[in-house]
A and B are shown apart, each in its own frame.
Chain A
Amino acid sequence: GAVVSQHPSRVICKSGTSVKIECRSLDFQATTMFWYRQFPKQSLMLMATSNEGSKATYEQGVEKDKFLINHASLTLSTLTVTSAHPEDSSFYICSASGGQANEKLFFGSGTQLSVL
């Protein structure tokens, strides 16, 4: 299957700082990337859909000024959590569409964010 790389895998930061998470598709071009947030023992909660070269589409209730998404190339999308607070602590996962019919969804390894 296709490979999606996500960094960093774990971040511990102080309240008020910003954290950038990178998501790269290593062996395919991802015109669309999805960003999810996952709480313990819960399903994947879609935050936003990111299309290369255009503004991200955010799900209802997700603050676009808080969670900045950039998809500047076909292989890289970034999520920046600005002015992080303890309630932003969570597991963040990116995914990218690939495959022959562009239907398969491949996930990054996730980033565990802990805000102190």
Chain B
Amino acid sequence: GENVEQHPSTLSVQEGDSAVIKCTYSDSASNYFPWYKQELGKRPQLIIDIRSNVGEKKDQRIAVTLNKTAKHFSLHITETQPEDSAVYFCAARISGGSYIPTFGRGTSLIVHP
């Protein structure tokens, strides 16, 4: 089955700095890679996703890059703000409703004002 490794487990940055979270996956059949942000006690929210036919995707301060050959993908947050503080999860799955997504262990991002 799929195995997703996520690093780092904790990331502390100053407001305005950039933050990068990295994930690797093992199953070359995986073709959809979402990122979720979860605030304490709340549901994970989809913040950005990328499909395997694309190498990079950007949405304002957030970007995701994918290297299919190396089987890794990364989340980049620029100009971080205190409200970006949360736990971020990466995931990998095969497109299709019944395929089980595999989640990373999560990264706790702390943005200091």
Contact = CB atoms under 8 A, between A and B. Distances in A.
Interface residues of A, number: 27
A114 interface: no
Given A34-B100, A101-B95, A103-B32, A43 B46 contact: no
Dominant secondary structure of chain A at its interface with chain B: strand
A21 B100 CA distance: 21
- Measured as residues with beta carbon below 8 angstroms from the partner, the interface class of chain B is 20 to 34
Given A43-B105, A49-B98, A105-B101, A112 B41 contact: yes
Contacts of A107: 36, 43-45
Contacts of B87: 41
B104 A43 contact: yes
B96 A105 contact: no
Contacts of A110: 41-43
Interface string A37-74: 00001111010010100000000000000000000000
B25 interface: no
Contacts of B34: 104-105
Contacts of B93: 103, 105
A41 B39 CA distance: 11
A49 B100 CA distance: 8
Interface of B: 32, 34, 36, 41-46, 49, 51, 87, 89, 91, 93, 95-98, 100-101, 103-106, 108
12 contacts: A32-B97, A41-B87, A42-B106, A43-B89, A44-B103, A46-B100, A93-B44, A97-B96, A104-B49, A105-B34, A106-B46, A107-B44
Interface of A: 1, 6, 30-32, 34, 41-44, 46, 49, 51, 91, 93, 97, 101-110, 112
